A and B are shown apart, each in its own frame.
Chain A
């Protein structure tokens, strides 16, 4: 028993401290060193780049200021309002289009006409269209996630094998039951994929919208740092946006694992 215990400990230890983790750590160190070097020797065109330590100081300042965290809050609210609306409207719409050929015939052509328009191209119309800036940003975030979720749900429904539907009806399931117990869980993997991809796109859209039209938010903050020529803070803004996007994607992934326990248990 003791030997097994020991082996197990060793394995756990190796999981955390192994050569690949070390290499990863080194790559980050090397990146910072390279950055330091680039600034130090004044590489042409990159003279304005701040030292890593200036960025670190900027980050420390930001972490202590209320406006910085306020920016996080505003951006996150915008993301979630737009994103959740997109799911609430997009998932039922996608299911309906996936199930009913008639409904799809009536809706899909318009959908496919609008889908290739990049969400950012909606910015001018969105600003004119909605009474407040905030609503236009919600709308743009919505657009960023909407088309992706709909197309994924349609795909998900059509990928469900016909034998599952047949099996259910042989087993005595009525159409309503087949919808809720077969079609919905069957398309769940595609729904989660659509949400994951959509979450990535919404951050792109949000930042562009904030820079152009927004008040507050991480995108606006980064843009204002630019207009104030506060270069360390531009970098802090960029990194913050990256971290925020990463956290949101992780949340979606976690939700996916919770919703699909059968996909995880291996």
Chain B
């Protein structure tokens, strides 16, 4: 039997998972700054354990258009990780990275832009996972990324279903990056239950 029950997570577990989120987001900020070659600030990430029905709203409404970059996680733990970026943030980021004018909406993105977004997602989740890996001493490998630009609710259905197999709630880490622009992104890490145990026991819990 797993030590973790996502529906009755106590304060200490939650704090640890929050702290991992914090460190991971910090590393992601550094990676983003190197990528864009600018100074990037980060707000303290907001970590929440939400009911499925609340998640869409927490991210600005189920119909809000977002870019979701999804990767399978393997190695000592298994599960998946997703990085979500608001449409506006994705457009700003792509324009900055590629030195092109901002498009009106994200559905205008071509192969090149989608590929760049995937890579951004890969770098950001990569830095997040490597901090998790360093803290826990566990080997964590992420698959090549897949992307979807669609309604927030639809994209979220994928990690929600994975959480749904173990509980009725989902852990959401919201990060806001900024330099001269503001980027709002979200991380959703979905380790399976055994992996939760592994993460926590390798941290001495």
Tell me if chain B binds chain A: no
Residues of B in contact with A (beta carbons under 8 Å apart) = none
